Chain A
Amino acid sequence: MSADIERFVAGLAAELPGWLPGQRWFAGKDRPITGVTPLGTTVLLDGDPLLLHVVVEVAQGDRREPYQLLVGRRSHPPEVPAASWIGALGGYEATGDADLTAVLLDLMVRGERVGSLDFAREPGVELGRDLRARPITSEQSNTSLVYGGQYILKLFRKLSPGENKDLLLHRALQAAGCEHIAPTLGSITGELAGKPATIGMLQQFLSDAVDGWAMATTSVRDLMAEPELGPDEVGGDFAGEAERLGRAVATVHADLARALDTEPIDDDELARTVGAMTERLDDVAARVPELVPHVPGLRAAFEAIRSAPANSITMQYIHGDLHLGQVLRTVNGWLLLDFEGEPAAPVEERHALRSPLRDVAGMLRSFDYAAQQLLVGQDADPLLTERALEWARRNRAAFCDGYAKVADEPIGDPRDHGALLRAFELDKAVYEVAYEHANRPDWLGVPLSSIAWITQGGE
């Protein structure tokens, strides 16, 4: 690598502590950055334009986490958002520069290795060339590029050694012939502390797809426009979709259980789970006074799972962060996306085997959110509130019906594991309380009303 590039990268590293907190995908916004160290630089295009792949370690006190960047420098840069410029060195975050990002796909087409980066197609995959990419704007913790409406390349921002869980599960599901995922076409592997680490994953892009949140809220909107009719009477009824979605999730769980490890749940695990839930509850209740009245009910619900029958449930790989925004409706049915797990959770926890009921609980929570989202910030209207509740009940039930039709024992119908499902759902709702309290106080009522409803015995 030329001295010029080394100087350039060192200069960038000095600018990054000021630049990173402004990036949506940066996960460490809670603490100040104390230092940024380049770990490795790969030259993907040399000269003018220049395209660098840079892995940096971000230090925040005793926390050390690696992130990847794609940096461009050229004499005639395209129009990129002001926030993309890293300091005044002429370098910019290059995922928005279609001229430069085209090289990533070309490298994958050729299956090349550049420096420590290995661009590989999955076995038997052929890719089209010369496609321009545009970044997807809605993403939170990673950056995805869509090539010519055909492929989507996800660049994981925060890196961890080893095969990324998203890639691992996609490969396992694909090998199992699962139809409810987007096909994986390739991957980019780099190095982290001398070990291989997944930095990117290429999948089929489904241009016909709509995410589950948009589908569900379309239905809710239709219902709210005609509140004199019930959710089973209006044209936009979602129960059929919810039922098919339940079947898709159960199929993915069954395929994961077949393809990868499973282990029975035991008393220790249940105790650990209760401990973790109670700990979160205490933590959140200390910060959010509105949660305090619900603490006894929540604690009782969490304790109740200690008496769950032994071997009633199997631990396995699950999605880990399932909600309506993580599923896609295509003309061929529902797909699940993003098997990384909860982005905020530590890597070890994301990779742990967990109960599939957690995914079910996540989706049930999401139905509640979809039902109530039009009411947030509005004056309370008892009729609309009742309609929203009916919509949520109808579609939660339909989802469980669909799940039960496919799921094998020991899971079967999720509602047969009432205590466990309730506890998982409440745990998720407690997490939501913390999130809404910190970010969207208007929405605090959504998880709180669900907590009240569930702890009082509602379904």
Chain B
Amino acid sequence: MPEELRPDAALGLEGVPHTGEAITEDGMLVEPQAGDFKSAKQAPSNPEWFKGAVFYEVLVRAFADSNGDGTGDLRGLAGRLDYLEWLGVDCLWLPPFYASPLRDGGYDISDFRAVLPEFGSVEDFVYLLNEAHRRGIRVITDLVLNHTSDAHPWFQQSRSDPDGPYSDYYVWSDDDSRYADARIIFVDTESSNWTYDPVRGQFYWHRFFTHQPDLNYENPDVQEAMLDVLRFWLDLGIDGFRLDAVPYLFEQEGTNCENLPRTHEFLKRCRKVVDDEYPGRILLAEANQWPSDVVEYFGDPLVGGDECHMAFHFPLMPRIFMAVRRESRFPISEILTKTPEIPSGTQWGIFLRNHDELTLEMVTDEERDYMYAEYAKDPRMKANIGIRRRLAPLLDNDRNQQELFTAMLLSLPGSPVLYYGDEIGMGDNIWLGDRDAVRTPMQWTPDRNAGFSMCDPGRIYLPVIMDPVYGYQGLNVEAQSNNASSLLNWTRRMIEVRKQHHAFAEGEFIDLGGSNPSVLAYKRHWRRPDGRHDVVLCVNNLSRFPQPVELDLGAHRFSTPVELTGGVRFPEIGELPYLLTLPGHGFYWFQLVEPEEEGDTR
């Protein structure tokens, strides 16, 4: 291979196992195997763990730096697991930590079987897995099935050797006219889904950035190669994958090339590998689509689902923001009404914020304008078609609203996904480029670099937040863990309460409606295997003003609502509608205790 086409040389993988270290006689790239490494011990067995788990999205780069190079790494993260265990986190979700030229935050993977050197090594990842599993914490990571970086050796082989074994790994065409009905996703930067490659003299297909050619799933070799990537990490002990951008795997003329039946067929193959070879591990679909389309990614409901175990519920999140701003429950109630039942063996993942912008793809144009006007008053706050802000600044740093939002996140149907730093109300830095505003270093202490790194402050990958409101000197984990009334301790307590009631995890969701549009009230009703009922009542005041609400709780006559954080018994439910009053942005969680259960409040 000519020297300039050897990507690994530029990626610092010399001396560590990586794809393409050697090439076999029939032209195949030699790739690292799981057996080359020690594997991690598994977390305690519980095949349904994901249904009630609290997820925590943590950027390896941003959490803790163990070697003082200014960039967070896997060993640094492993060193902070005590904190995450204390907080009540059940599963870490790590965005990609693979070898990558980092032109798309690591989603441009140049070697599926190597760790980005600045994050550490495969051995470091196995160390993290062992340390996490020892604490009962699981770890999943992103896997991009749809495409690779153009620096991936597969692509380099494919473009330079059109007759070789990698010739059909990507979607090549002599012109750029095919699949004209597929939309362009990154409208800000891309003008076409096709790009001309002068090396091969053909156009290649890419649904995302130009430097991310789509893999050709028509080719059975690609399917096998990607299944082997899954096996590589599963063999090492990982607990699952968030499958990035799943709707786009296949292309078909005359369609929008999203959600095609063959894409689902391939996901069923992935699932079968997991079920047959790695039971208890999960697949989580990232499909930014309407819930009625996303449920397809759970697979066949008759068998409890045979594609992904989980999928993100995208449209819920912007609607939570909209509902509070409008002081009306309808944006939330409507989207949940339009959310279909999901198969018995599956669960939604829900979130308030993540490493991407507040996604507005799943709202109407009218609503998008509204969200921009409300939450992105400065044009710099907008990116692509979303808003790049953290939770606290989005809510004007209002503690009541942060608590209300978190209470809804922890009680609406689905497993909650927290975003690192939001548990202490971290701020953002909208003057940083791209989506870096919400990717600044975790604030641990008031010390140098917020305790994130011992490096020279000039060397840090992004500056820590230093403004007077969100600056690390005052806002950090150390200060908040010592303060009983801090947001951090409050969040920890709410997670604890959530875990005491399985109704939050798997209870049926019943919207109670009511005549006050500013109050969102719902029940989570769990029928326990022993036939008894765990019923939790959640009442949320979406308005900044105090509100009364009369709830029709006729089905629970004679039950007693017991408030969950303090155990206070409220008046018994009678024949008349149940009256509650809430302070502005206040909320309640109750367990409804039936008379015969007296004395048993769990």
Q: Flag whether B373 is at the interface (Cβ < 8 A).
A: yes
B126 to chain A, nearest CB (A): 48
The reply to whether A208 and B544 contact each other, CB–CB distance below 8 Å, is no
A236 adjacent to B327 (CB under 8 Å): yes
Tell me, rounded to whole Å, the shortest Cβ–Cβ distance linking B227 to chain A: 42
Please report which residues of chain B, range 474-523, place their CB below 8 angstroms from some CB of chain A when the two chains form the complex: 511-518
Q: C-beta contact mask, B541-577 vs A, less than 8 Å → 1, else 0?
A: 0011100000010110000000000000000000111
Closest Cβ–Cβ distance, residue A320 to chain B (whole Å)? 24
Interface residues of A in 170-220 (CB under 8 A from B): 206-211, 214-215, 218-219
Interface residue from A132, A209, A237 paired with B513 (Cβ < 8 Å): A209
Enumerate chain B residues within 8 angstroms of A149, measured Cβ to Cβ. Answer: 552, 554-555
Is there an interface contact between A240 and B554, defined as CB atoms closer than 8 Å?
no
In chain B, what residue has the closest Cβ to A226? Answer: B544
CB–CB B337/A218 < 8 A: no
Which of B328, B366, B516: most chain A CB closer than 10 A?
Answer: B328
How far does the alpha carbon of A219 sit from the alpha carbon of B513 in the complex, in Å? 18
Is A215 within 8 A of B517, CB to CB? yes
Q: B326 touching A331 by the CB < 8 A rule?
A: no
Contact yes or no, B330 A218, CB < 8 A: no
Contact B326–A233 (Cβ < 8 Å): no
Tell me the complex Cα distance, A222–B323, Å.
13
B334 at the A interface (CB under 8 A): yes
Contacts of B328 in A (CB 8 A): 215, 218, 236
For residue B374, CB closer than 8 A to chain A, the reply is: yes
B517 touches A207 (CB 8 A): no
Q: Which residue of chain B is the closest to A210 with respect to CB atoms?
A: B517
Q: Chain B residues with Cβ under 8 A from A237's Cβ?
A: 326, 370
Chain B residues with CB under 8 A of A457: none
Q: Is the CB of B334 within 8 A of A331?
A: yes
For A88, list chain B residues within 8 Å (CB): none
Which A223-267 residues sit within 8 Å CB-CB of chain B?
Answer: 225, 233, 235-237, 240
Q: Which residue of B lies closest to A79 (CB)?
A: B575
Contact A240 B575 (CB under 8 A): no
Contact of B333 among A221, A222, A235, A331 (CB under 8 A): A331
Known A148-B554, A149-B554, A207-B552; judge A214-B576 contact (CB<8 A): no
Q: Is the CB of B334 within 8 A of A210?
A: no
Q: Does residue B325 face the partner (Cβ distance < 8 Å to A)?
A: yes
How distant is the Cα of A166 from the Cα of B442 in the complex, in angstroms? 63
Mark contacts of A21-47 with chain B using CB atoms, 8 A cut-off: 1 yes-contact digit, 0 otherwise: 000000000000000000000000000
Those of A305-335 within 8 Å (CB) of chain B: 329, 331-332
Complex Cα spacing A206 to B514, Å: 9
Contact A98–B545 (Cβ < 8 Å): no
Assess the B575–A98 pair: CB atoms within 8 A.
yes
Complexed CA–CA distance, A211 and B543 (Å): 17
CA distance A134 to B557 in the complex (A): 13
A262 to B545, CA, bound (A): 47
B contact residues around A332 at 8 Å (CB): 337
Q: Which of A98, A207, A221, A236 contacts B512 (CB 8 A)?
A: A207
Of B326, B366, B552, B575, most buried by chain A (CB within 10 Å of CB) is B326
- 16 of the cross-chain contacts (CB-CB < 8 Å) are A134-B554, A134-B576, A208-B333, A208-B511, A208-B513, A209-B515, A210-B516, A218-B327, A219-B326, A235-B327, A235-B374, A236-B326, A236-B327, A331-B334, A331-B337, A332-B337
Counting from the closest, the 8 A-B pairs by CB-CB distance are A208-B513, A235-B325, A210-B517, A207-B513, A331-B337, A149-B552, A331-B334, A331-B333
